[in-house]
Amino acid sequence: MISPSLLFLLLFLTPLEGGSHPAEDDNLLVFTVATKETEGFKRFRSSAQVFNYNLKVLGLGEEWPEREDQRTAGGQKVRLLKSALEAYADKEDLVILFTESYDVIFASGPAEVLKKFKQAKSKVVFSSETLIYPDRRLEAKYPVVQEGKRFLGSGGFIGYAPYLNQLVADWQGLDSESDQMFYTKAFLDPEKRKTLNITLDHRCRIFQNLNGALDEVALKFENGQVRVRNLAFDTLPVVIHGNGPTKLQLNYLGNYIPQSWTFEMGCTVCKEGMKNLSGLKEDSLPLTVVGVFIEQPTPFLDQFFRRLQLLRYPKKKIHLFIHNHEEHHLSQVSSFVEQHGQEYRSLKVMGPEDNLENAGARNFSMNLCKQNPACEYYFSLDAEVVLTNPDTMQILMEQNKFVIAPLVSRIGKLWSNFWGALSPEGYYARSEDYREIVQRRRIGLWNVPYISSVYLIKGSVLRSQLAQLDLFRSGRQDADMALCHNIHEQGVFMFLTNQQLFGHILSLENYQTSHLHNDLWQIFSNPEDWKEKYIHPNYTDALKGKLVETPCPDVYWFPLFTDTACDELVEEMEHFGQWSRGDNKDQRILGGYENVPTIDIHMNQINFEREWYRFLLDYIAPITEKLYPGYYTQTQFELAFVVRYKPDEQPSLMPHHDASTFTINIALNRVGIDYEGGGCRFIRYNCSIQAPRKGWTLLHPGRLTHYHEGLPTTKGTRYIAVSFLDP
């Protein structure tokens, strides 16, 4: 399949053949019809300007005729061309090129077009198609060809002015009638075909219609230049037409064609139309509605709200809307609203009690901007998006597009918030360069067929082209697909930028809500987010040998857990509540052995054994091998548990050896605040650690050398997490 997102490069790089010579260009005039200046038309006009075509636009401001049978109307185009050609009827040396505009781009300049037209040795040349349209019954009347495409396409043709004038002189039809049928009948009339010397561009030397031909089209890169190549005929067409269902392929191909582009090392950046907001005062920044959507159970929601709060955009310029579909998240939403709701210009929250489904919630949110003339932007943000770039909103605004999304993808995966192409049925299809875009090996601004999860839309387009639409509903499509479909139908482009790093998307598939603190179980599905929430920010320095203390011989002390990790692990254990002394019966159940029983809960009792092992492998094994050179471990363990010490329960632990090669002991709360006393004494060295720091771990040998005892807890409750580890 053609790679649409790569194809757009042809629009601003030097063509491989046929330069542009002003003297010859005077002999070529381009006509097109456009009733509205859509984004597709602006793209077409920009590509014409890049290659210095003499372009005349017909029909701007006219109404486009509608047909009851919903089939393509085109008679208006013939009428307008007929009227325009009358002024050129006697200009025998003038060549006229007619082409569609909304779904067409130029790939090279006038000199190449003239050269190829003259080589055709015909007075009129039409584009060719693989598929016959609009009446298959006419197939038998078409001349048989030895090579190339057999059927006429009316979206592009070229000829000498007097001959084209004669071709359209007989037009007497209505604006709503078919131009394709009119030109087809003219071509199939043997006498007229001979008189006007009409042929088809069978081998796509000038015109490339994409409908039915995606598999035969590829890109040709050579010496820093790029062109569309027709592989079937080994030709380099000049006029690329995304006709029929291939319009979206051309959208990705097209992108905007600005006055200036840069192309360096695969990095493509549009310089035109950008606006700089950085110098504006806060009260001058655009008023924006921000819609937040929690549509399913989502991990790390507290972190999501923290990042929302940290977006570098004035809160008094934001109307905030939150739709929470999940009762599971009511407390988190309520906490955010209570702490920060008053900071925003306005805040509206809708919860599960409102019984508002996804599409309805998104329409409601978007209408807050659509119905407010002062709203300049609508920013939609799903809760599974981890937006790490606090300047995202302003960066997107500065791109000055109607609809634009920042690239976010799952870490280490190709799953992202955009599609590179669509299948004929309108569903996902991967473009050739999808991987390069997701992995940012090709960087730029991309016109894409589908976006989701996070995007920015201009209020002006919501109140114009998209004003009357129920944007998030279309047949049986889900809300995101319906939005993209409806935007496409109105001729509005959607863009994606990967010019900067913006963040990533969480994996939600394995998120369960059966625990008190469910994020603890996300170390497999979302390891980077788990690390950010639960691993001490200074752990990386410890892994490099910094911030590691040696309070006793061969005993290492370093930061490991965040306060949140400590608090949630303690709360999870207390929520489970089944504290035991580790007697023989318990040991048989737990499959391990403790020399000295403690009041504890083991990780496998709360179904946290797999996650704990992953934590040990990812964070304990590397630092163990760093601190004990030459020792390698897979952090195998039989015992991993949280111990509770209380003066009236079990205040201390008698001297003992651990049943391990080495042990980790993580302090889970704060001495002097949560409890008094406690600590650990290594008897052989007469060395004590009496003020363990919350979130820091002691790493020490187990058997033989490090005989130790737990010092008495004299007040409050002390918690530690312990693992006995073997190779």
Span 224-262, pLDDT tens digits:
566 788 999 999 999 999 887 765 556 544 432 333 333
Q: Apex CA 664: angle with CA 658 and CA 665, to 5°?
A: 95
Q: What is the extent of the structural domain holding 690?
A: 518-725
- Shared domain for 342 and 439, answered yes or no, is yes
Q: Assess if residue 274 is contained within a domain.
A: no
pLDDT in tens, 541-560: 999 988 999 999 999 999 99
Q: What is the pLDDT of residue 215?
A: 85
Number of neighbouring beta carbons within 10 Å of residue 580 = 18
CA distance 207 to 459: 38
What value does the mean pLDDT take over residues 567-588? 79
Tell me, what's the pLDDT at 263?
A: 32
H/E element, 435: helix 434-438
Q: Are residues 454 and 533 in the same domain?
A: no
97 within 8 A of 31, measured Cβ to Cβ: yes
Evaluate if residue 373 carries a pLDDT over 90. yes
Sign of the torsion angle spanned by Cα atoms 547, 548, 552, 553: negative
3-class state of residue 687 by DSSP: strand
Is there a domain that residue 318 lies in?
A: yes
Residue 470 has pLDDT above 60, yes or no: yes
- pLDDT given at position 399: 94
Position 244 scores a pLDDT of 76
Mean pLDDT on 598-609? 96
Q: Which of 45, 442, 644, 718 is catalytic?
A: 718
| Rounded Cα–Cα distance for residues 597 and 699 (Å) | 20
pLDDT of residue 589: 37
The pLDDT of residue 251 is 52
Mean pLDDT of the chain: 89
Q: Are residues 142 and 247 in the same domain?
A: yes
- Which of 63-77, 264-278, 284-298 has the weakest average pLDDT? 264-278
In a domain, 270, yes or no: no
- Rounded average pLDDT over 173-182: 94
With CA atoms as reference, report the closest residue to 722 among 578, 560, 546, 550: 560
* Distance between CA atoms of residues 431 and 3, nearest Å: 5
Residues 706 and 629 in one domain: yes
DSSP state of 9: G
Burial class (CB in 10 A: 0-12, 13-18, 19+), 685: middle
Q: Are residues 485 and 593 in the same domain?
A: no
**Residue 557: C-alpha distances to residues 320, 561, 665, 668 (Å):** 45, 12, 10, 14
Domain end (from 479, 505, 531): 505
The answer to which of 78-92, 255-269, 643-657 has the lowest mean pLDDT is 255-269
Residue 580 predicted with pLDDT over 60: yes
Provide the CATH number for the domain around residue 663: 2.60.120.620
Both 251 and 294 in a single domain? no
Q: Do 46 and 176 fall into the same domain?
A: yes
Residue 276 maps to a domain: no
Residue ending a domain, among 439, 473, 505, is: 505
Q: Is residue 101 part of a domain?
A: yes
Q: Which amino acid is at 328?
A: H
pLDDT at position 218 over 70:
yes
pLDDT at 269 over 70: no
The helix/strand/coil state of 421 is strand
Same domain, 482 and 573: no
In our burial notation (b when 16+ CB lie closer than 10 A, e otherwise), range 503-532 reads bbbbbeeebeeebeebbbbbbebbbebbbe
Count of domains forming the chain = 3
CB distance 64 to 35 below 8 Å: yes
* Banded pLDDT at 18 (limits 50, 70, 90): very low
**Same structural domain for residues 351 and 463?**
yes
275 occurs within a structural domain? no
Residue 59: CATH number of its domain: 3.90.550.10
Q: What is the pLDDT of residue 584?
A: 42
CA distances from residue 601 to 358, 582, 717 in whole angstroms, order as listed: 41, 9, 15
Q: What is the distance between the alpha carbons of residues 402 and 498, in angstroms, rounded to a whole number?
A: 17
Q: Is the pLDDT of residue 17 over 80?
A: no
In a domain, 440, yes or no: yes
Answer with the one of 474, 505, 536 that is the final residue of a domain.
505
> Dihedrals φ, ψ of 67, to 5°?
-115, 140
**Rounded distance between C-alpha atoms, residue 133 and residue 139, angstroms:** 9
- Residue 460 is predicted with a pLDDT of 97
pLDDT value, residue 256: 26
Residue 269 lies in a domain: no
Rounded mean pLDDT, 526-537:
98
- Please state, in angstroms and rounded to a whole number, the distance separating the CA atoms of residues 240 and 105: 5
The string of pLDDT tens digits covering residues 420-445 is 888 777 788 888 788 989 999 988 88
Q: Are residues 293 and 213 in the same domain?
A: no
pTM for this model (two decimals): 0.88
Annotate 148-176 with DSSP letters as a single string. S--EEEEEEEEEEHHHHHHHHHT----TT
554-577 average pLDDT score: 97
- Considering the domain architecture, whether residues 523 and 473 belong to the same structural domain is answered as no
Answer positive or negative: Cα dihedral of 417, 421, 426, 429. Answer: negative
What local confidence, expressed as pLDDT, does residue 195 receive? 96
Dump pLDDT digits (tens) for 125-156: 999 999 998 999 999 999 999 999 999 999 99
**pLDDT (tens digit, 9 = 90+) per residue, 272-308?**
556 777 777 878 899 999 999 999 999 999 999 999 9
**pLDDT at 228 (0 to 100):** 82
Is beta strand 495-497 parallel, antiparallel or unpaired with respect to 428-429?
unpaired
Please tell me the distance from the alpha carbon of residue 103 to that of residue 39, in angstroms, as a whole number: 10
Please indicate, yes or no, whether residues 80 and 52 belong to a single structural domain of this protein: yes
End-to-end CA distance of the chain: 51
Q: Is 227 a catalytic residue?
A: no
pLDDT higher than threshold 50 for residue 19: no
